[in-house]
């Protein structure tokens, strides 16, 4: 039981880390797209 609970908690924390990583990558991509649009305009 304790092992299962620890396993699920570690998966949850990993999921949160992956979500934050994806969010940061998306934010950077959006900023770069805006910069590209400004330079081409």
DSSP state letter for 14: H
pLDDT band at 24 (very low <50, low <70, confident <90, very high): very high
pLDDT at 22 over 80: yes
Distance of alpha carbon 11 from alpha carbon 29, whole angstroms: 27
Question: Rounded to two decimals, what is the model's pTM?
Answer: 0.57
Structure tokens at 36: 């590209």
Predicted local distance difference test score (pLDDT) of residue 5: 74
């Amino acid at each position: 039981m304790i092992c299962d609970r620890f396993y699920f908690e570690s998966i949850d924390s990993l999921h949160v880390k992956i979500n934050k990583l994806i969010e940061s990558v998306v934010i950077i991509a959006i900023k770069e797209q805006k910069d590209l649009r400004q330079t081409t305009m």
